[in-house]
Amino acid sequence: MSHPVPQGFRLAGVHCGIKSNAAKEDLTLIVTDKDSVAAGVYTQNLVVAASVTQNRAKTPCENFRVVVVNSGNANACTGERGAKDCREMTRLAAAAVGGSEGQALVMSTGIIGHFLPMEKVTNGIAAAAAKLGTNAEAFDSAVRGITTTDKFLKTASRSVEIGGQKIQITAMAKGAGMIGPNMATMLCVVMTDAALSASLAQELLTHAAELSFNCISVEGHTSTSDTALLLASGATGAAPTSDTDRAAFQQTLDEVCIELAKLIPTDGEGSTHLITLDVTGCATRADAHQIAKTVANSPLVKTAITGNDPNWGRIVSAAGYAGVAFDPNKVTLTINDMLIYESGMPTVYDAKRVSESMRDNHEVRLVLAFGEGAASVRFWASDLTVEYVNFNSDYST
């Protein structure tokens, strides 16, 4: 589904030969008409792609012009040659839109440890630059160009009024496997025509990522390439300067990022369920997040959800080894709004009814409540299936 392209942006996606399937785009350009603001949040893995190293050094900034994205090759663990190829991508992309190398950002996703086919990349950048547009086909081709194992396109948009003027926020993301915060194995580009300073853009994106991309998991594996960018063209001239406008913009940005984040575990490789986990009643948000991440990443919890098994013991025990202190006698669990476990003990419940509820709904809702405080977090994860194992056992061969 296409979304409005914010003012001041042009984009395109092309097939240049990185992917073997000629019907699939594998290179995308996203361009601003003039110097713009860019902010970024990145993987917390110590092993990172060349694109992450380069982008970290450049963001936040106020002179951004273009981001070039390739899919099918992560350009990670490729040493000095990989770094050189990444720099060449920025030079080529910047030159194609009349900018300088320092105004270009790169995102790469795909298989790790392979060198980029730079002749194909060079041709792809030129081809994409010649196709830049703002219509539905330009947007959709750009989204397709950032995908790898995704089964569907992940897009979202909202508008918000700032100072009496309509501001557009439109975003795209990719990701289906190797997903585990911080962040997830994913790419995301959020475009807006609001006028933001670099420092404000960074604050806004960091806040949104904490509520969204840092609260998802497929299998808990943090990738080398994770990147989320917030790009602000400033084309409307409207800036969220008041507290009210800033809060409205932040809420809208949060909503866009959360919508995209949920689509990633929904599309988790081989998944049959989206797990929505609310952890409440913790002393701090960090405690709630740690418990949620531990439960969501448990293979025993995931496989129980796959089998529509309301196995409360796996969920409660996973919380117990999260490394967070709590009183086990104050723990309560519901599955799809049905009380399973209360005050440290299982309740009398209809296991068949709960199982059928899990079976009949793609989303399985878990609420794990503690008695330690008022902090909470919402976390999303996929279940774990035989199809996931089969897919990832021969991914590179």
Which of the residues are catalytic?
185
The backbone region for 175, taken as left when phi is positive above 0, alpha when psi lies in -120 to 50, beta otherwise, is: left
Closest CA to 109 of 165, 176, 157: 176
Q: How far is residue 30's CA from residue 186's CA, in Å, rounded to a whole number?
A: 17
The sign one gets for the Cα dihedral 90, 94, 99, 103 is: negative
> 334 forms bridges with which residues in the sheet?
339, 367
The residue length of the chain stands at: 397
Instruction: State in Å, rounded, how far the first CA of the chain is from the last one.
Output: 33
